[in-house]
Amino acid sequence: MRKLVFGARSSILSRAQVDEIKRELQCDFEVVWVETTGDLDQKTSLRDLRKTDFFTRELDTMVLNGILDAAVHSAKDLPEPIPRGLRLAYLSQGLDPRDSLVIKKEPVRIVATSSERREVAVKALYPHCSFVDLRGTIEERLAKDVDGVVIAEAALIRLKLTHLTRVLLSGKTCPMQGKLALLCKENEDIIFRLTPTKRGVPLSSHSNGKDGKH
């Protein structure tokens, strides 16, 4: 039997996410690393996006075209609805769903984030700070010349960056933040092919044909 081929984004974080899926499912598969629209377009603000396929389009198209058996996504990046012809095959156990404010220098006056929700959480701690938009990989975000950067705690854990000075933010977080998702063709049981003792976790709000940020 041939080894299954999965696709994922090419960032260091995405590579860590793929390793997490392999450990959680106790399986192995080949990986194709892909740059998506969201990776190549560094100008569009994430504030303007609401559950689109900005970070998933190319990978999902490759699954539909039979180039990939499945795509590995951050679950929070899944479009709504999931593209016709695909289904959610697996939803990972996930890591800490909270957001963290990584403090680079004090006093904290300028914070980088692309989320109004995160701005509200930061304002509760630093009411006089201002905000700048944020794009790029985690490494590029942390290198930005600002006083603080808001990063998902799960990303810091996966990249072994929990030594950084940070404050865990309170309040709501992005739905399914910290979890990973596998998408495959709707007529495939990709998890059973990987490991017959495991089954994917259904997610009714992302079922095909029904409507359920970085």
Q: What is the pLDDT along the chain (214 residues), one digit of tens a residue?
A: 689 999 999 999 999 999 999 999 999 999 999 999 999 988 888 877 767 899 999 999 999 999 999 999 999 999 999 999 999 999 999 999 999 999 999 999 999 999 999 999 999 999 999 999 999 999 999 999 999 999 999 999 999 999 999 999 998 898 999 999 999 999 998 888 887 655 444 443 344 433 334 4
107 CB-contact burial (10 Å; exposed 0-12 / middle 13-18 / buried 19+): exposed
Spell out the domains of the chain, with CATH numbers in brackets.
Answer: 5-94+179-206 (3.40.190.10), 99-168 (3.40.190.10)
Which pLDDT belongs to residue 197? 54
CA dihedral 203, 204, 208, 213 (to 10 degrees): -60
**Residue 121 burial (CB count, 10 A):** 21
Task: Collapse the DSSP code of 181 into the 3-class scheme (helix H, G, I; strand E, B; otherwise coil) and give the result.
Answer: strand
Task: Collapse the DSSP code of 154 into the 3-class scheme (helix H, G, I; strand E, B; otherwise coil) and give the result.
Answer: helix
| Residue 211, token pair as written in the block | 């409507």
| Residue 51, token pair as written in the block | 């559950």
Which pLDDT belongs to residue 200? 46
Which pLDDT belongs to residue 198? 54
Which pLDDT belongs to residue 207? 40
Q: For strands 148-152 and 86-91, give the pairing.
A: unpaired
